[in-house]
Structure 1
């Protein structure tokens, strides 16, 4: 469910105990609007890995990330480069990781993420609780192929 920027702004102004928001609308205009109209004390965090670099460049203070579960070094380096305004390096890492950002959502979260983490031996199994179902074989094969062709730094 999306909370429009006007509502987020009202919450930021009137509810002093609310200190920030995870902006995961997927809409760069909304992210910019929330950042631009938020009080200084209000923290805007990006909630979409694929939009993290532009969101950081526009003033977001960080990312609540899916990708960092299994590529923490590469993605944190990407975000650090964006914060430092080293755009070339931020974009280089962003595009190295972009296929993973997309594959994270080929099925309901966290199904693909757990499959990736299992393939990388970061967790003992990729079991999920109902109502989620195990990853489809075709998607698991796609993930395996992606992992074979891309190197992730931990």
Structure 2
């Protein structure tokens, strides 16, 4: 899966002020990512506010992105949740045209055991026509995919080929790198730790801040890939504060505000229970944008 090596972006889903999907802005965002050098796109991950999209809306967004991209970049579909039966059904029925892999977040809220997490992904693996990327983000899900569970899935399910890691636990990253099969990929799921994760052996990032600054994020990742960590550090330091501001009032509210200010999308509308960032964060973002 060379398509997963490099800089990927977890696309936001732009909305109109009435709450409907803004496909014109979504098209602008896609073209911007391609022009600025992103390596692949993740469509309807958690950053895409997928949990608040209806099933028909998700289908329309996946199809719109595939048609707009027309093979210019690899596409990954986000399909995950805490109802295993429903996710298995979605994966089984997913129209794979234009897509090369599925990113599936670990079950949230239920707090399954490691055996439950294993069986959840094994059930998805059994029906998927595409390779699967595990997504570990304990801060959102309330549970952790232990390294031993990730390795067990990698060695027993041939189509589970990578993990997007956003646990922030470097001991865990190191354990995965030590024990994983040679062709199993570790991907950063947290922008600020992409550089040190790549130093450990991660192959790239699925980025949030890359929505707004794709060229910088892609350049950082490519510098790490070529061993030029001095150049990567410069970009890392430049992006550090603006990245923090993207998360200060929940993702993707911050990065949507930046994209609106850049003129890439028309509004920074989000769906409840999220709300747009407040005046204090807006001012901080605008100030920091001058330095990025």
- TM-score calculated relative to the size of structure 1: 0.93
- The answer as to 2:198 corresponding to 1:70 is no
Separation in structure 1 between the aligned mates of residue 206 and residue 223 of structure 2, nearest angstrom = 17
State which of 24, 36, 39 in structure 1 corresponds to 2:178.
36
1:121 offset after TM fit, Å? 1.0
Separation in structure 1 between the aligned mates of residue 159 and residue 260 of structure 2, nearest angstrom = 39
Separation in structure 2 between the aligned mates of residue 28 and residue 103 of structure 1, nearest angstrom = 23
- The answer as to 2:175 corresponding to 1:26 is no
> Mapping of 1:65-104 within 5 angstroms?
65-104=207-246
- Structure possessing the higher radius of gyration over alpha carbons: 2
Task: Judge conservation of contact 2:247–2:254 (CA < 8 Å) in 1.
Answer: yes
Q: Which SS does the other structure have where 1:52 is aligned? A: helix
1:17 offset after TM fit, Å? 1.6
> Mapping of 1:1-154 within 5 angstroms?
1=138, 2-148=144-290, 150-151=291-292
Deviation track 1:71-104 (CA, whole Å, cap 9, x = no partner) reads 1111111111111111111111110111122111
1:7 offset after TM fit, Å? 1.1
Separation in structure 1 between the aligned mates of residue 280 and residue 242 of structure 2, nearest angstrom = 16
Moved over 4 A (4+): none
Separation in structure 2 between the aligned mates of residue 4 and residue 107 of structure 1, nearest angstrom = 28
Separation in structure 1 between the aligned mates of residue 213 and residue 289 of structure 2, nearest angstrom = 12
Q: CA RMSD in A?
A: 1.0
Deviation track 1:1-58 (CA, whole Å, cap 9, x = no partner) reads 3211111111111111211110111112211211221101211111011110111111
Separation in structure 2 between the aligned mates of residue 96 and residue 139 of structure 1, nearest angstrom = 18
Q: Which SS does the other structure have where 2:254 is aligned? A: helix
Separation in structure 2 between the aligned mates of residue 145 and residue 96 of structure 1, nearest angstrom = 13
Q: Which runs of 5+ in 2 are unaligned?
A: 1-137, 139-143
Separation in structure 2 between the aligned mates of residue 51 and residue 135 of structure 1, nearest angstrom = 24
Separation in structure 1 between the aligned mates of residue 235 and residue 288 of structure 2, nearest angstrom = 16
1:116 offset after TM fit, Å? 0.8
Q: Which SS does the other structure have where 1:21 is aligned? A: strand
Separation in structure 1 between the aligned mates of residue 276 and residue 230 of structure 2, nearest angstrom = 38
1:142 offset after TM fit, Å? 0.9
Which structure's residues are more often strand, by fraction? 2
Q: Which runs of 5+ in 1 are unaligned?
A: none
- Number of residue pairs matched by the alignment: 150
